[in-house]
Amino acid sequence: MNKISRRDFLKVAGFASTLTWLWGCAPGAVSTAVNFPTSTPPTSDDQFLFNALRRIGFGPMPGEMETAQKVGFEAFVEEQLAFESMDDSQLESHLAHLTTLNMDVQELATLEKPGQPVLELVQATLLRAAYSRRQLYERMVQFWSNHFNIYILKNQDRYLKTGDDRDVIRPNALGTFHGLLSASMHSPAMLVYLDNASSTKDGPNENYARELMELHTLGVDGGYTQADIVEVARALTGWSVTGRRSGDGAGAFIFKQNFHDENEKHILGVDFPARQGIEDGEQLAALLAEHPSTAEFIASKLVRHFVADAPPASLVAKVSEVFQTSRGDIREVLRTIFFSNEFRQSLGGGKLKKPVEFALSVVRTLGIKTQFDRPTTTMIRAMGELPFFWPAPNGYPDVGAAWLNSNDLLARWNFALTVGTNSMKDAIVDFSPFSGLPTDAIVDGLSLQLLGMILPDESRVRLIEVTHAISDIEPEAAICALLLASPYFQYR
């Protein structure tokens, strides 16, 4: 069977590097020969690397695979962990029009279009994930946003979430867990979302106290009691937001001394002396961040995210230990995961892409230019996920079983079939380098680009046959759509 001839190969290679150039995503890759669309299947090393890239990031942009091949897996991980050193200036042009990202809360609260901060924050999240070179960093931003979930349509969170994203999640996403937790506890958006802003010594509100332990730190089986919840609620009385009742949209953190319960507290077996004021909350942050249950809970969530829906206990134990010895150093924890045998062995399947991950991988592996305007985000939302739109504090589920249903599958296919056949105005695929190529060459070239592999024979032959039978769709569009809809593309 003929696969790709040399002439075809050059055309395919040209397709990929054209996109690289357009996007400037992988400096250094532009002049490098694209070497994975070859007439032989990729080696197992290439396959490992491709799978690792789509597990750690949101799917390799054209050209990124070649860059990673040059430095190797370990250096790739280290570069991603040291994200501050990566030049990401090209990203700014994608975000320049999103003016609300840098506004202070007064400006945000008084905008003429109240929905503007919501739409722009969703767009910014998708654009950053799609076009930043700091792929691991953006993935961790999404992970923590989901862990410390805030429903963006709840009351003032419409405009407060912008600050939470900018000042709480993003600066701490690869820092320490204690730093991240403490920032979240001071976050006006969180204090409003879980009702702590109105909690006073005369009526302590249990909502935030409970979720802080159940969802953010210890986990539901982490060893706290209803009495602990009441004590935590008392410790956090007075942790509030400015001007909430004045209606002027103010929204900065404030500790209201006169709302704070100054009596002593007893939390998780630890005494909190009387008259500590705001220190109660700071002591609580440290207690929770360093609690062994927190280490295990965060370790299991991270391993679930990066390794398997059923996290291997061996790795969770190891990661939990590193979490404790490194005092919650998120980079150390991630390093432990990525360089583990469990991670390596889990690649090539197992983790179903969540809808946003799926959409981002379509955009990235095809090198599509999109602004994530309404038609695109509407289609993503139809799959059931959009950043910040999960109403409950537990965040979107991170296991495939939750997503594997008829609504999600059909919506995925429709995203694939719409974008893949170039039927979306906001997301144009440039297929021109493929025009005129034989069908089998298109199938192999696109398989390598989208899946990092040549299709198994039976699927490959069937795809070629069907493409021939569909005469009124351009073969490259017909093939591309079907590959995106295929099971191979549903995993990361």
Q: Which of residues 138-197 bind other proteins (CB under 8 A)?
A: 194-195
Provide the CA 167 distance to its chain's centre, in angstroms: 17
Beta bridge partners of 200: 203
Per-residue tokens: 222: 């982490």
Contacts (Cβ under 8 Å, ≥6 apart) of 434: 11, 12, 15, 442, 445, 446, 476
326 binds other proteins (CB under 8 A): no
Q: Of the candidates 348, 312, 332, 483, which has an alpha carbon nearest to the alpha carbon of residue 52?
A: 348
Q: By CB under 8 A, name the one of 455, 475, 476, 492 that touches other proteins.
A: 455
CB neighbours of residue 391 within 10 Å: 9
375 binds other proteins (CB under 8 A): no
d(CA 420, CA 165) in angstroms, rounded, equals: 32
Angle between helices 313-325 and 292-306 (to 10 degrees): 130
Spatial contact of 313 and 300, defined as CB atoms under 8 Å apart: no
439 binds other proteins (CB under 8 A): no
Task: State the minimum distance, in angstroms, from the CB of residue 453 to other proteins.
Answer: 12
**95, containing H or E segment:** helix 92-95
By CB under 8 A, which span of 49-57, 90-98, 290-298, 396-404 interacts with other proteins? 396-404
Q: Looking at beta carbons only, is 11 or 244 nearer to other proteins?
A: 244
Question: CA neighbours within 13 Å on the CB side: how many for 476?
Answer: 20
By CB under 8 A, which span of 291-299, 313-321, 428-436, 460-468 interacts with other proteins? 460-468
Q: Which of residues 34-73 bind other proteins (CB under 8 A)?
A: none
207 binds other proteins (CB under 8 A): yes
Task: State the minimum distance, in angstroms, from the CB of residue 254 to other proteins.
Answer: 17
Q: By CB under 8 A, name the one of 67, 145, 421, 449 that touches other proteins.
A: 421
469 binds other proteins (CB under 8 A): yes
466 binds other proteins (CB under 8 A): yes
387 binds other proteins (CB under 8 A): no
Spatial contact of 76 and 68, defined as CB atoms under 8 Å apart: yes
Helices (H) and strands (E) in the chain, counts: 26, 4
Spatial contact of 310 and 206, defined as CB atoms under 8 Å apart: no
Q: Of the candidates 215, 147, 137, which has an alpha carbon nearest to the alpha carbon of residue 171?
A: 137
404 binds other proteins (CB under 8 A): yes
405 binds other proteins (CB under 8 A): yes
Spatial contact of 264 and 274, defined as CB atoms under 8 Å apart: yes
Q: Looking at beta carbons only, is 215 or 360 nearer to other proteins?
A: 215
Task: State the minimum distance, in angstroms, from the CB of residue 143 to other proteins.
Answer: 18
Q: Looking at beta carbons only, is 203 or 277 nearer to other proteins?
A: 203
Task: State the minimum distance, in angstroms, from the CB of residue 473 to other proteins.
Answer: 5
33 binds other proteins (CB under 8 A): no
Q: Looking at beta carbons only, is 18 or 198 nearer to other proteins?
A: 198
Q: Computed from CA positions of residues 156, 162, 164, 165, in that sequence, does the dihedral angle turn out positive or negative?
A: positive
Spatial contact of 82 and 133, defined as CB atoms under 8 Å apart: no
Q: Looking at beta carbons only, is 120 or 408 nearer to other proteins?
A: 408
409 binds other proteins (CB under 8 A): yes
Q: By CB under 8 A, name the one of 402, 426, 438, 439 that touches other proteins.
A: 402
Q: Looking at beta carbons only, is 96 or 469 nearer to other proteins?
A: 469
Q: By CB under 8 A, name the one of 2, 341, 394, 432 that touches other proteins.
A: 394
Q: Looking at beta carbons only, is 82 or 392 nearer to other proteins?
A: 392
Q: Looking at beta carbons only, is 75 or 404 nearer to other proteins?
A: 404
DSSP code per residue over 145-178: HHHT---TTSTTHHHHHHHIIIIIIHHHTTSBHH
Per-residue tokens: 202: 């005369």
210 binds other proteins (CB under 8 A): yes
Spatial contact of 88 and 133, defined as CB atoms under 8 Å apart: yes
Q: Looking at beta carbons only, is 69 or 421 nearer to other proteins?
A: 421
Please give the residue ranges that form the binding site for other proteins (CB under 8 A): 194-195, 198-200, 202-207, 210, 214, 220, 226, 229-230, 382-385, 391-392, 394, 397, 401-411, 413-414, 416-421, 423, 455-456, 458-459, 462-463, 466-467, 469-470, 473, 477-478, 481-482, 485-488, 490
